[in-house]
Structure 1
Amino acid sequence: MRLLIADDHELLRDTLRSFLQQQDDLEICTVGDLSQAVAQLDDGCRYDLILLDYTMPGMNGLDGLQLLLERPDTPPVALISGIAKFEVALQAIQMGAQGFLQKSMPAQSLLNAIRFMAAGERFLPVDVALAAATGTLRVDERSGTRPDVNLTSRETEVLAALCCGLTNKEIARSMNLSEPTIKLHVKTLYRRLGATNRTQAAMIGRNMGLS
């Protein structure tokens, strides 16, 4: 997997590169502003994912993201920021970004999110996802906390299995249920938790104390 990181903070670039290059299947390239990222594409360099710092030179808010997304040769692009508000993250997704990463994310979570997006899935951090969710799960605007979600014992068991990274087939085997039944439970969990994929559901489950 080839990853391009565009960020004007040299320390962050070096730290990210040092961590990610420990993975045998990752090849990392870094640049310091949007024009350098564009130049990489102009030179014919191919990447599986681009990470763009929201506030680096040349970005002008989300204009830089739009510039890349309008190019026919652009791979999936995700924003990374330490200050952008939830609204920015959601607008970026609506524009076509592959995801939004917070610079405060734990290193392993960041790596998981990168792999997730490179595989073609969209990613939002759990707090952003919860802030945007509708239905039974909402962010309390006064306290920033999540109210309890009333799950059945079976749903809780399935969610705990998701938190452990089990596949539907593995969950079905461990619970002595059919795989279609597990798929139905997982789909119901997505709806009730306000999640759009397994990663978000698992992150929400861990926030609920499941593991």
Structure 2
Amino acid sequence: MGKILLADDHGLVRETIAAYLMQNGLHEVTAVGDMTGAEAALDTSSYDLILLDYRMPGMESLDGLRKLAERFPDVPVALISGAAGGEVARQAIDLGAAGFLPKTLGPDDLIQAVSTLMAGGAYIPDDALADASHRLTPREVEVVRGIAGGKSNKEIARDLGVQEVTIKLHVKTLSRKLEARNRTHAAMRARDLGLV
């Protein structure tokens, strides 16, 4: 039996995951709703695993993960998310996360993931890393960041020192990769994936 700290700002999700882990994994779970609560819990008790929601108050994208991984290097930290994709999973691992758990995981997979993490292993579902369709080239990332910043194709072309037609090609390619309907949708999808 291990002690798990679960931080998620959605009460129903938090309570459902906590109850399931306690019933099926026989773990003791402390559930909090934001980063401040997580830090307070960690200051008063020790845990065998920390599960952090990617989007919750105080998380500041992946800064909260980085901070906890640095403060508690001996405790595995895993990111849980309902929206983030493969790029965020890769960034989280680069920052010291031991795992990435999509909220779409089935109950048995969740128990398996937690068991793996508590045994000192890493857990990332294959489909999170096989998210190759979302892998933008560095130039495509620059272009979608320009779009997200409200710049026109002409402005992005001037910033990057290329022709406007080149930017139009990049927009077409990155929109296809992101399964976006238009420039604005591409910027929104890129933001959801943590690319901008």
TM-score (norm 1): 0.60
Kindly provide the CA deviation profile for residues 102-128 of structure 1, in whole angstroms up to 9, marking residues without a partner as x: 001101101100110111111111102
Identity of aligned residues (%): 47
Shift of 1:130: 2.6
Which residue identity does 2:41 align to in structure 1?
Q
Q: Does 1:58 align with 2:44?
A: no
1:7/1:33 contact within 8 Å kept: yes
Which protein, 1 or 2, shows the higher relative CO under an 8 Å CA cutoff with sep ≥ 6? 2
Separation of aligned partners in 2, 1:24 and 1:93: 24
Unaligned runs of 5+ in 2: 135-196
Separation of aligned partners in 1, 2:9 and 2:3: 20
Residue in structure 2 matched with residue 10 of structure 1 by the alignment: 11
- Superposition RMSD in Å: 1.6
1:41/1:74 contact within 8 Å kept: no
Shift of 1:46: 1.1
Q: Does 1:19 align with 2:35?
A: no
Separation of aligned partners in 1, 2:8 and 2:15: 10
Deviates more, 1:14-23 or 1:4-13: 14-23
1:21 counterpart SS class: helix
Kindly provide the CA deviation profile for residues 119-141 of structure 1, in whole angstroms up to 9, marking residues without a partner as x: 1111111102334xxxxxxx5x3
Shift of 1:75: 1.3
Separation of aligned partners in 1, 2:9 and 2:25: 26
2:52 counterpart SS class: strand
1:17/1:28 contact within 8 Å kept: yes
2:89/2:129 contact within 8 Å kept: no
Shift of 1:85: 2.1
Separation of aligned partners in 2, 1:73 and 1:106: 28
Shift of 1:87: 0.6
C-alpha spacing 1:40/1:128, structure 2 compared with 1 (3 Å):
same
- Mapping of 1:95-114 within 5 angstroms? 95-114=95-114
2:31 counterpart SS class: strand
1:68/1:74 contact within 8 Å kept: no
Kindly provide the CA deviation profile for residues 121-171 of structure 1, in whole angstroms up to 9, marking residues without a partner as x: 11111102334xxxxxxx5x39xxxxxxxxxxxxxxxxxxxxxxxxxxxxx
> By percentage of residues, which structure has more helix?
2
TM-score (norm 2): 0.64
- Residues matched between the structures, number: 133
1:50/1:75 contact within 8 Å kept: yes
